[in-house]
Structure 1
């Protein structure tokens, strides 16, 4: 199972290949609760592992985000640590999910929302919250996701209030 999921993982840029040797097993353990000795017949573990692999393939390394935002890698690390961007670590690597960017810029109001998220939330829970349509967020009578709400420049305080209520997604 680990080998099959390894193919679903992102291609690593040359700058980080020396730090990625063990990232797939580490990532699956952290994000999906799957170890290399996991029972391959366990559908729930396979499902979680596939979702974790998909999530990692939709995230960038801090060095990639630094290039996109024209900043130093350390500046991106500082932005995550200060809550201006959302990121999660796997081994020695910092991943930043792409859902928080629109047109290669952070979503408007993102720091307010990131600051409202519980530090105990799993990255899959954060992603689920940000990408799922919410009853409290409506545009033209239709529910939209927190990510879309922010991308449209709507009031981030409303999303932050919802984020404070997220226990589990």
Structure 2
């Protein structure tokens, strides 16, 4: 498949650039099936318990993680956009990244900032981009990022409805919960307990 055809398919089908896909693929561990070789007895025991080998499972999971990572990269803001959007200087953006109160992911030697941690205050074409970090995330992110989770796990935590975070009886995601003005404490409790990891 010619390079420009692949680029066009990525853009048409997924609204992704080739660089987003490459960056996402680099976040996956290398697939080395021989590194997890089982003995014949171990394999037989797992087969008897119903845990049979599924050759397509890794490919399916890897494709899902790659798609999620590519979406994080393609929608992320550059450090310059964050600086301008938050109306702070480069030093402050760097300090907040290092303190983990701003979430950044490496993109081939530069840092990009996933959009899900921000609200767009003014994003019209005629006005400069103005951002505001979702209220409370400056307290949540240091505890969450200290766990050294894969970026898709961080995004999943922020975007997946949690049974313990209910508004009008309906489970809400951490992002929705905080945007609604709710307390940070239950979110910090979820991080501590780690129950969300199963979602």
Task: Give the TM bin, normalised by the shorter chain.
Answer: 0.7 to 0.9
Distance 1:85 1:107 in 2: 10
Distance 1:77 1:10 in 2: 26
Say which structure, 1 or 2, has more relative contact order (CA 8 Å, 6+ apart).
1
Shift of 1:44: 3.4
Ranges in structure 1 where 5+ consecutive residues have no aligned partner: 12-21, 36-41
- Structure number with bigger Rg: 2
Shift of 1:29: 1.0
TM-score, normalised relative to structure 2: 0.65
Alignment of 1:108-119 (within 5 A): 108-117=135-144, 118-119=146-147
Shift of 1:161: 1.3
Report SS of the residue matched to 1:105: strand
Report SS of the residue matched to 1:137: strand
The number of residue pairs the alignment matches comes to: 153
What is the Cα-based RMSD across aligned positions, in Å? 3.0
**2:166 — aligned with what?**
138
TM-score, normalised relative to structure 1: 0.76
- Residue of 40, 48, 54 corresponding to 2:71: 54
- Residue of 83, 102, 105 corresponding to 1:66: 83
Report SS of the residue matched to 1:130: helix
Ranges in structure 2 where 5+ consecutive residues have no aligned partner: 32-58, 122-130
- Could you say which structure has the higher helix fraction? 2
Whether the 8 Å CA contact 2:76–2:113 is kept in 1: the answer is yes
